[in-house]
A and B are shown apart, each in its own frame.
Chain A
Amino acid sequence: MKKLAINTILTFLLISSISCKKVLEDHPLNITTEDYIWDKTDATGAYAQGWVIKIYSQLPTGYIRLNSMELDCASGDAVPSNRANAVWNVINGGYNSISTFDDNWSNSYSAIRKANIFLNNYKQVPWSDPTLPKWLAAEVRTMRAFFYYEMLRRFGGIPLLGEKVYGPDDPELLQLKRNSFAECINYILSELDAVKDQLRPDASLASRGNGNGVAEGTDNDAGRMRPSIALAIKAKVLLLAASPLFNPSATPSLDFTGYPTYDAQRWKNAADAMKAIMDMNMFALEPNRYLLNTTHVNKEFVFMRFGASYQTTWGNLISPVGYTVGNVVSSGIVSPTQELVDAFPMANGKAISDPTSGYNAANPYNSRDPRLSQTVFFNGATWLRRAVQTYEGGLDKPNSSNVAGGIQTQTGYYQKKFLGQDDNNTAFTATMYHPGVTPTFCLIRYADILLNYAEAQNEFSGPDATVYSAVNAIRQRAGLNPFALPTGLSKEQMRAVIRNECRLEFAFEERRFYDIRRWKIAKDVYGTGSLHGVNIIKNADGSFTYSQITVATPFFNASSMYLLPIANSEIVANPNIVQNPNY
């Protein structure tokens, strides 16, 4: 009997151990699946709207987004103060398909994927407001066009995906080919034309909010794609298509490198597109250029990438190393070159090389274009109520190997661009830069439109009155006196003026790097000879002696480097992607 009892217990144990039934979920239910996004029960489409926000967040910004350094440090206008910064690799050795630079390839295709997913799915949402999905779809298509433009200006033609969303095993993914440059241009233009009337209408600039729900104005949709932005992107795309790099291509047999033949009409198209924006009478130049750094509620910004709200940290990052504000020693990370400084004319508008300009090499920063002191800290400039000291042994160039502090200038200059007007303040004004999170950055402002118009119109029809008027407007706002250009300039002279104005007006705004490629002048202005700085000795009598020093000898291979290389890993994965020439 005892045995039986034991046996019974054993059997019970056995059966109970096998027949345990699961009472908990056997697959994770805490995953946000696709169905939650394209919610068929939410008539406001809150998550679908959130999807569009994510695409906005992938629009580019400037500032120190590349190796904690500004893109303009690889354009000849500046060098990183820290010799260990990886941008020196680009200055000294360029870029290649193994180590690419600023390719924006993954980010662009990632954004394009998100756009396509939206366009394939947003109609599942039972939108209660019929205009909202129409607007959103148009915004998404506008941004998709912009991301293609981002790649097009770097590489030439790239694969166009249409509305396709690839899976990881899609065989087609590894068979994609590069579309021709012309196909890409046409596609982008057709998209922008198709959506321009479906976008949310332009609102008044004065009502522009800051995108954070904290209204400087009442328009909290400010920053979203609007007809004016679509027009501005279209104009930039047309300008790119007309530019010497692509019109015509140096390698006509490779259709992705540009147009096979030159067509002057392309300049006309670009000029007309720029003109269309001027004719909207929405935008104007802000008289005070500092306003462009401290507020985005202004008349000049056409296409903003909104980010976090204002901070004073740009001052810590960029101010000369002798300035300590709020217990933070400034880092002075950018060293502008002598070449950039010399490009600024005198306040009378004459180049410093002009013997009649009044330039005095012993007092080189006196009576210069006011934009110089808005762009660069030079020795003797006033900042936070003291003179900047970049002479040898000065507060801002102490020549000590102190690792705790900032790293001093390589050139005798520091960058000032994007700072407020704090010459007579004791602390930094808040500006748009924000560390750690994506800051606000203006991608297209009205000054672009004017100078781009001038460039295109000058190329198409020579320096007519409208060209003069556009360029003079820029010079007038800059504070040159007299601001008017001498009449009777040739087309070539006017071209040189416009190109220099672009350099000065948009210094550190990520234009120069791509402009010198688009104009095919990079070899001449950047890849031949050296970049310089200034060595300043303070004499016993308080005067200064200036001498030029060499800081870098940039490397530029004109046979390849006008177009950026596609990363080698893309070519290895898909041999159908043909590399740009000579990489």
Chain B
Amino acid sequence: MCLFILVSAATKLQAQVRALTGQIVDEKNLPMPGVTVSEIGNLRNGTISDENGNFVLTLKSANNIIQFSTVSYITLTQQAVSGKKMTVRMKPDTKGLDDIVIVGYSTQKRITNPGAVSSIKAAEIENIPTSSIQNTLAGRLPGFTAIQRSGQPGSDAAEFFIRGVNSINNDNQPLIIVDDIQYTYAQVAQLDPNEIETITILKDASTTAIYGVRGANGAMVITTKRGMISKPSINVSTQFGVNQVIQYPTYLDAYATAVLQNEAYINDSYKLTSPLTLPWTAADLKMFKDGSDPYGHPNVNWQQELLKNSSTQSNYNVDIRGGNSKVKYFTSFGYFKQNGLLRDFSPTNPNDVGVEPNYFYNRINFRSNLDITPTKTLNIRFDLNGRFETVNTPNGPIDGDGLFKELISFRNLSAFSMPLINPNGTYGYANQSWGNGYVNPVSRLANSGYKRNYNNNFNIVAGANQKLDFLAQGLEAKVNISYASTINERRFLQRGPASLPAFYYNSANNTYTTKGNNQFPVFGQNVGNDAFNNSVNSQFSLNYDHNFGIHRVYALALINDISSVSGGNVPLNFRGISGRLGYNFKQTYGVEFDVARNGNDLFREEQRYGVFPSISGFWNLGEEKFFKRLFPFIDLFKFRGSYGLTGSDNGYPTVLTAIAYSLPGSGTIFGNGATEGALINSDVTWEKSRKTDVGLDINMFAGKLTMSADYFYEYRYDQLIPQGAISAIIGQAVPRRNVGISDNKGFEVEFNYRDKIGALSYSIGGNLSHFKNKIIYISEAPDYPYLAQTGRQIGLTKGYQFTGFYQAADFDANGSVKPGVAYPLWSTIQPGDMKYADLNNDGFITAADQTFLSQPNIPAYTYGINLGLNYKGFSLRALLQGAQGYSINVFAEGTDIFNGVPQPLHLQSWSPNNPDNAIFPRIGFNNNINNRTWQTISDFSLTPGSYIRLKSLEFGFQVPKNWVAKTRFIQSCRIYSAGYNLLTIRDTGKFQVDPEIARGSNAGTAYPITANYTFGLQVGF
């Protein structure tokens, strides 16, 4: 309290009073609002120019020198002229040395920042037509990897990592902070780019150690737009576009499928005493080929019948921004809608009107950021924002993995499984012995209802920032309290897709057979809400930053407390303090210490808190006199380095302090008894990462060229992993221990060049990121050295080494494998089957012959090249983005014939006539385990992937001012056309999959990624 009494006392001081007025303009003579005007020698006496650039200042000291400063402009000092309105013209700072860089809980200038940071202004990405901001960031931020796994509306957000992955424990998700609130990985996708000001990723210890136990995976810090001193400006933007599937897989038609099925039956008869009866006769094949019996021998391209090639999306935004020296505001409202690829099927039952089964996603975003400045030294902030999204999916697919799994699964749908519709207008079902017998998918999609999820988010941030210059020049205190909540609800309107009426039409005798039900069942509804989650985050901090001549000292002390509640569970509390102390000499040398001591009650009481220190520094060679003399065109040449410790408690369960026993069930002697639960490790602690980073920042040619390069090394230890080397004699499951160690190293380089040729201004930039991790210690007891994971990368697929196909020469006259040829024990082998390496040389292929294959699914190299052109009102922006150094694993339906629907790839199968150039094993119908890629995983189904995409392209036209001026109320108007994922050059080996989407069994069964084309209009009032 005494602190605040001092405040009151201090402001009572009075001095000589001289009034001064003036206007500040920029290089184009336009008024500049928001410029800080202060008196040299008494910097506490200052004001800010209003929305017309005018200022009024009452001078208090004697030397009459005034300083003008604002972001991106060169700070100006000028002698006050008394009695006359001053006109001050400020010049932009093109060198970029004072560009503000966001670091944890505060900001730095590019020239003095010792840490590894990349950032982007949202203006560069806000028009890119995709629903999730992380999709737009791939290729733009060095060190940021984003991989889009699905194109489904509402679930198309890319997963992303900072500096790749480095946790054996799969604890790789970065910390995400949006305006001081911690967001989840999923919530980032819901943000409206129009609300965002900047996106920054923090990569090294100097910038993340301050987050302590949550900093090890890097941090993504997003700031939203705030009000500024200006007249109110209203912006309205609309965007309308089309999403087009980049590539649907190609499937074989009914005739080709039937021919292959006959071939399969012949192959499956190998060594049988009596060969199998072929499923299709020559007459059948003829009817498939000439289409003469469309009901008995149908040929349906289900993909084409069920799906459109494109869908639509639209986006609307309105925002109002402005303010004066007392109140500043930014409010925004956004609506986004993306439709799905299903065709519009009309329901059979006329009462079903209004039941929307198609995929869709819509989202409403609103935000109101308010800054109130009741006194010159106090700023109060009140932010309110919310997001409401609806995600809809059809209930019709029976397969648990959804519609796209059905389309690719032979047992669900084949070209001849049923006609599209029966002659009498009813729907059929797959009436073949080998199928799942599903009802016609058109009927299921049209009549089975939908699954709809509503996700609602609310956030409130209230805060105040008090300057405490009377205590010490440059000191301020800040308090922030935020509240965030999510409520997710669902409404499913469902009619059992298996129970719809369906009739098999026999074209031979013109009769119908019912599958069971003749009536439509009544819709059932499944309504419910998931847990209500909320969290309250309170922060109090003291920030200090002051220049003593050529010495700058800055410091931060912060208390942070997060209490989050999931449903009715016990709250989880996170608590800690963080501090920063830095010193710069002449902007040439700098050193900074950061430390956090924080933790949470996931862990045992005695070891809840960890200390996470870091040290960093820079040497700005560019400021040295000799260097300036030698290289006058170099503005900045800064070496920087950091070393420190951060932690991660991401995904940790609450540590048990006692073994959980189970109580007996009722009744039986041999039934459910009471027993001991898994043994516990109450010493569980967070993962830790020691991060080293060295970097170089260069600005040249008055800011035209900027470059950065970083090399990093991370040593991650105390990873909580299962104990692999333990004796089962203990008789109980043993707990995980903090013993895993891995490391990760890599580099990032980026450059940007911008210049003008006459009226044409252009920019070109590029970046390249690389990481490679390695497991240093994992608790394992490998049976053979090649089964060890130690020394390998994280996330490799385990499987067999595919070496080709068994050839006829491998078999004796009885059809048995010749001596000396290794063969698997799980299947009887015949020519054309897949052959694997016998790694332990025991003559058998067994589980012991597996090893770790190839590369992980996360690209080792990602890069981006961006271009910008501006000519008068025209602008063009393009981003090429690429990735390589990863592998794609396509198995099960994605590749196996008659598990999956036959693809052109299967026409190149092994057969006695094609023993040498085959790319696929011999065709089998009831295939043996050896050839089933989902049961016998091998590098047959693994292929190195790479791609380069024209990720985004935007062409815009700013309608000239004098045109819009005639309307009187329109201030500005811009029309543009933009695209996302426009062109793809890819290498996915023999598989028809998207290079990003492919992972595991998801490959080929995910909703396809789309290219989005859009047209937009932005009008300012």
Q: Which residues of A contact B (CB under 8 A)?
A: 2-4, 6-8, 10-11, 13-14, 17-18, 20, 22, 24-28, 31-34, 36-37, 46-57, 59, 83-84, 86, 88-89, 92-93, 97-99, 105-106, 109-114, 117, 159, 161, 166-168, 170, 173-174, 176, 211-213, 220-224, 305-307, 392-393, 399-405, 438, 535, 549, 567-570, 572-574, 577
Contact = CB atoms under 8 A, between A and B. Distances in A.
Contact of A53 (B1, B8, B273, B668): B668
Interface of B: 1, 4, 7-8, 11, 265, 268, 272-277, 374-375, 378, 433-434, 464, 466, 477, 479, 481, 538, 540, 559, 561, 563, 570-571, 573, 601, 605, 654, 656-665, 667-676, 679, 681, 723-732, 734-735, 781, 783-784, 825-828, 844, 846-848, 925-926, 928-929
B824 to A, nearest CB: 9
A110 B663 contact: no
18 contacts: A14-B540, A33-B658, A53-B664, A84-B826, A84-B929, A93-B825, A93-B846, A98-B784, A110-B728, A159-B729, A173-B730, A213-B668, A224-B669, A392-B274, A401-B925, A404-B433, A569-B781, A572-B781
A568 B847 CA distance: 14
Nearest to A574: B727
A114 B667 contact: no
Contacts of B570: 24-26, 28
The 4 A-B pairs at the shortest CB distance, nearest first, are namely: A50-B664, A54-B673, A113-B731, A53-B673
B783 A568 contact: yes
Contact of A403 (B275, B479, B674, B925): B925
A223 B928 CA distance: 43
A574 B729 CA distance: 10
Nearest to A306: B670
B540 A53 contact: no
B670 A307 contact: yes
A10 B466 contact: yes
Given A8-B4, A34-B659, A86-B826, A17 B728 contact: no
Contact of B374 (A2, A57, A89, A106): A2
B731 A83 contact: no
Given A93-B846, A117-B676, A168-B679, A305 B378 contact: no
A178 to B, nearest CB: 11
B843 to A, nearest CB: 9
A114 B676 contact: yes
B479 A13 contact: yes
Given A54-B674, A106-B728, A168-B681, A36 B663 contact: yes
Contacts of A113: 676, 730-732
B667 A213 contact: yes
Contacts of B374: 2, 6
Given A13-B479, A18-B540, A31-B658, A57 B671 contact: yes
B672 A54 contact: yes
Contacts of B466: 7, 10
Contact of B670 (A14, A53, A86, A161): A53
Contacts of A84: 826-827, 928-929
Nearest to B411: A403
A393 B274 CA distance: 9
Contacts of B665: 50
B844 A53 contact: no
A34 B675 contact: no
B670 A399 contact: no
Contact of A20 (B561, B675, B734): B561
Nearest to B680: A168
B658 A34 contact: yes
Given A2-B374, A14-B479, A32-B660, 5 more contacts: A33-B659, A36-B661, A37-B674, A112-B731, A114-B676
B681 A211 contact: no
Contacts of A535: 273
B673 A55 contact: yes
B433 A17 contact: no
B479 A17 contact: yes
Given A7-B4, A84-B928, A98-B848, A54 B479 contact: no
Contacts of A17: 479, 481, 538, 540, 561
A401 to B, nearest CB: 5
Counting chain B CB atoms within 10 Å of each CB, the highest count among A89, A97, A221 belongs to A89
A24 to B, nearest CB: 5
Given A31-B660, A32-B661, A51 B675 contact: yes
B481 A105 contact: no
A456 to B, nearest CB: 30
B726 A168 contact: yes
B848 A99 contact: yes
A28 B654 contact: yes
A431 to B, nearest CB: 17
A402 B668 contact: no
Contact of A52 (B273, B673, B826, B828): B673
B830 to A, nearest CB: 12
Contact of B730 (A22, A83, A109, A305): A109
B825 A401 contact: no
Contact of B732 (A36, A56, A110, A574): A110
Contacts of A93: 825, 844, 846
A117 B730 CA distance: 12
B434 A402 contact: yes
Contacts of B847: 98-99
B674 to A, nearest CB: 4
Nearest to A224: B669
A165 B724 CA distance: 20
Contact of A27 (B657, B729, B734): B657
Contacts of A83: 827-828, 928
A392 B269 CA distance: 14
A168 B273 contact: no
A59 B669 CA distance: 11
Contact of B826 (A89, A110, A224, A392): A89
B554 to A, nearest CB: 22
A499 B749 CA distance: 78
Given A113-B732, A392-B274, A306 B664 contact: no
Contacts of B4: 4, 7-8, 10-11
Nearest to B660: A31
A26 B600 CA distance: 11
A32 B662 CA distance: 7
A401 B276 contact: yes
B453 to A, nearest CB: 29
Contacts of B827: 83-84
A57 B672 contact: yes
Contacts of B481: 13, 17
A122 to B, nearest CB: 12
Given A52-B673, A167-B679, A404 B434 contact: yes
Nearest to A309: B668
Contacts of B670: 53, 56-57, 59, 211, 223, 305-307, 438
Contacts of A13: 464, 479, 481
Nearest to A51: B674
B661 A6 contact: no
A92 B845 CA distance: 11
Contacts of A20: 561, 563
Nearest to A116: B731
Contact of A109 (B275, B601, B731): B731
Contacts of A568: 781, 783
A12 to B, nearest CB: 10
Given A56-B669, A109-B731, A223-B670, A11 B1 contact: yes
Contacts of A167: 679
A18 B559 contact: yes
Contacts of A52: 673
B173 to A, nearest CB: 25
B673 to A, nearest CB: 3
Contacts of A574: 727, 729
Counting chain A CB atoms within 10 Å of each CB, the highest count among B275, B563, B675 belongs to B675
